[in-house]
Structure 1
Amino acid sequence: MTEIPRRGLLLVLSSPSGAGKTTLSRRLLAADPNVIMSVSVTTRAPRPGEVDGKDYHFIPQEEFARLRDRGELLEYAEVFGNFYGTPKRPVLEALQAGRDVLFDIDWQGTQQLAQAMEEDLVRIFILPPSAEELRERLIGRAQDSASTVAKRMARAADEISHWPEYDYVIVNDNLDVASAEIAAIVRAERLRRRRRTGLTQFVRRLTKSL
């Protein structure tokens, strides 16, 4: 198989809480070894089962402010009183090496990524099949109190209103189908001419041999 060097891409999955982006992200990471997860920094406390350095880098608010003020974050946002951000250096190194970097961020972070690196960005918005299903998923995961579930439902309409800012929109009513659709998007985006940095050299070699 002919391998043509390419630059990696920034793949964003966004959705209201409970629509399934975390599960879909994990499926993609398990199925595609060339996709790596961007590990964000956050000021919130770890949830049960989360591992520092794997799920997030959990840092004090003072350290977060230093990273932000030094321009070392590609994007950052405040969500429910906690701050989240993406360290710049590991992302740039991955793209240069031809790795694809997956982001589980909201529309605010996506807008900031677009301002910084729009040519590398692929945006996918995940929608729930219904409001009732979204509420059931939030309750079923048993991570949040009833008041927090209510806040997330109230916030969902605002988050969903940003769907036109994304390149692709997927309704997640079946995980297998949604996963296959995301995989198809990734395959197609990897073939974009602007990302295939070795294409010019390959074509030159090809034409010289004709």
Structure 2
Amino acid sequence: MPTHSMLFRRLCFSISKSYHKPFFLSPIFTNPFGDSRSCPIHPSNSKTQRLGFQRKVSVNSHSFVSENTTNSIMDDPKTPTVVPIPHPDYAGRAEVFRALEASLGSAFSSQPIVPAPNPLIIVISGPSGVGKDAVIKRLREVREELHFVVTATSRAKRPGEVDGKDYFFMSKEEFLSMIEKNELLEYALVYGDYKGIPKQQIREYMAKGCDIVLRVDIQGAATLRRILRNSAVFVFLVAESEEALVKRLIDRKTETTEALLMRVASAKEELKHLKEFDYVVVNKEGDLEGSVKLLESIIDAEKAKVQQRIAVI
């Protein structure tokens, strides 16, 4: 008959064979009170002894952080081994990083979560006198990644104009040849001369990742809307009021009274097309910077969209 001291030693020995975690008894252990010749309790020949409650692995600032576990997890051979994750206060970032990867079973990707935004085509239009040229000139200075398309024209070059900068100057025969070969995105006959947008120029700069800016009149914008639909961004530039617009046209002093009257009448009609555009920018007198910043915000907002515009030329 074993003595009390022998039973106590057997109990201590059995507990020492547990999982070596505080307050965690192994679900499989040897019966210290049985006969010395008896076999240990095992799932194959008897019921496993269990504690009657679930337990969490203890967490403290000097230990490891682990998932909740129960006795039943220990019985499941398919359950993967939980990788201990050191607390960031007591381990380096690289060590914690590797432990997280091991615990999740996969490496963290270094690829960007969001791909680079698609190049945009920005169409800027508006009535005469709203300051389109001034806005575009300033935008060109502050956004170097933009490409401002140079329009092709069949009219003669004026004093001070530079071929390839102000326009691509060509003969009517050359322009008609481009029309026949479908090399123009859009074109129109204006006061007896042709104006158009070469496709190849747009393709080349979009392939480089540049955003494209097109400055067109209201008629050209309507044509581009039919061609590009929602793949381009259409911005309508206006003055703060009709009164302000007319005063700007007067101050230009570039037309005769008859031409001025016709231009003002055209501007009033062109204002009716505002609702056909995606955005409107009010170019207030003396606030060029504010207009340019608003235009930049429109470009940035378009690039932050989850559903990107895709322009195919």
Same topology, TM > 0.5? yes
Matched, 1:13 2:124: yes
Q: CA shift at 1:194, angstroms?
A: 4.1
Does the CA contact (< 8 Å) of 1:8 and 1:120 recur in 2? no
What residue in structure 1 maps to residue 289 of structure 2? 176
Relative to structure 1, the CA distance from residue 141 to residue 121 in structure 2 (aligned partners, 3 Å threshold; closer, same or farther) is same
What residue in structure 2 maps to residue 126 of structure 1? 237
Does the CA contact (< 8 Å) of 2:150 and 2:165 recur in 1? yes
Amino acid at match of 1:54: K
Instruction: State the SS of the aligned residue for 1:193.
Output: coil
TM alignment of 1:137-148, pairs within 5 A: 137-148=248-259
Q: CA shift at 1:79, angstroms?
A: 2.9
Q: CA shift at 1:170, angstroms?
A: 1.6
* Structure (1/2) with the larger strand percentage: 1
Does the CA contact (< 8 Å) of 2:232 and 2:309 recur in 1? no
TM alignment of 1:23-172, pairs within 5 A: 23-172=134-283
Structure 1: stretches of 5+ with no match in the other structure: 198-210
Does the CA contact (< 8 Å) of 2:157 and 2:169 recur in 1? yes
Does the CA contact (< 8 Å) of 1:73 and 1:86 recur in 2? yes
* Structure (1/2) with the larger helix percentage: 1
Does the CA contact (< 8 Å) of 2:187 and 2:195 recur in 1? yes
What residue in structure 2 maps to residue 190 of structure 1? 303
TM-score by length of 1: 0.83
Amino acid at match of 2:290: V
Higher RCO, 1 vs 2 (CA within 8 Å, ≥6 residues apart): 1
Amino acid at match of 1:63: E
Instruction: State the SS of the aligned residue for 1:162.
Output: helix
Relative to structure 1, the CA distance from residue 128 to residue 49 in structure 2 (aligned partners, 3 Å threshold; closer, same or farther) is farther
Instruction: State the SS of the aligned residue for 1:53.
Output: coil
Relative to structure 1, the CA distance from residue 48 to residue 23 in structure 2 (aligned partners, 3 Å threshold; closer, same or farther) is farther
Amino acid at match of 2:296: A
Structure 2: stretches of 5+ with no match in the other structure: 1-111
TM-score by length of 2: 0.57
Larger Rg: 2
Question: Which whole-Å CA distance do the structure 2 matches of 1:196 and 1:122 have between them?
Answer: 9
Residues 122-146 of structure 1: CA deviation (Å, up to 9, x unaligned): 0000111223322332233344444
Question: Which whole-Å CA distance do the structure 1 matches of 2:249 and 2:209 have between them?
Answer: 36
Question: Which whole-Å CA distance do the structure 2 matches of 1:80 and 1:15 have between them?
Answer: 19
Q: CA shift at 1:3, angstroms?
A: 8.6
Q: How many residue pairs align between the two structures? A: 197
